[in-house]
Amino acid sequence: MAKEKRMSKVSLIEVLMVILFVGIIVILVFPTIADNQKKKKINEEIFPTFILIQDENEKFFEELGEYAFDISQLNIDELNDKKYFEFNLNDSTIFATTNRKFGKAGAKIVYNFITNTWSVEGMEGVVDINWLP
């Protein structure tokens, strides 16, 4: 007697279930990856640059008795090398505005170094306030 080999076939339902599971995983994983990349960009550029601007502004205050009202008064050459943010200064408040390389342009991260407070302005969801200290 010859044994018949039985071919196993994959049904359409099984294929759809696999596609469904892969889709759910993609939906859950990709936003997390994008958020982690944004946090990394903030940690690499925002915090060191804010500290640099704050230190230079404190030196400016010690020399002239007032804080700089424009970032160009501080003569910080490193600000030209930043990829994801443009920095501005208004007395004791530092503004970092996102550009297109960050993902979306126009969101602002604001830090007041006198009161040590952080805030986010514009474009909800581009920058999460929980990413800041």
Give the model's pLDDT for residue 4.
Answer: 63
Instruction: Give 67-99 pLDDT, tens digit per residue.
Output: 888 888 888 888 777 888 888 888 778 888 888
Q: Alpha-carbon dihedral of residues 72, 45, 51, 77, nearest 10 degrees?
A: -30
Domain extents for the chain?
14-131
Residues 6 or more apart in contact with residue 122 via CB below 8 angstroms = 106, 107, 108
2-24: pLDDT as tens digits:
566 666 788 889 899 999 999 99
Q: Which residue has the higher pLDDT, 99 or 130?
A: 99
pLDDT per position as a tens digit, 20-33: 999 998 888 887 88
- Examine the pLDDT at 123 and tell me if it is beyond 80: no
| Structure confidence at residue 16 (pLDDT) | 93
Helix (H) or strand (E) holding 109: strand 108-112
Mean pLDDT of all residues in the chain?
82
pLDDT tens profile 47-71: 888 888 888 888 988 998 888 888 8
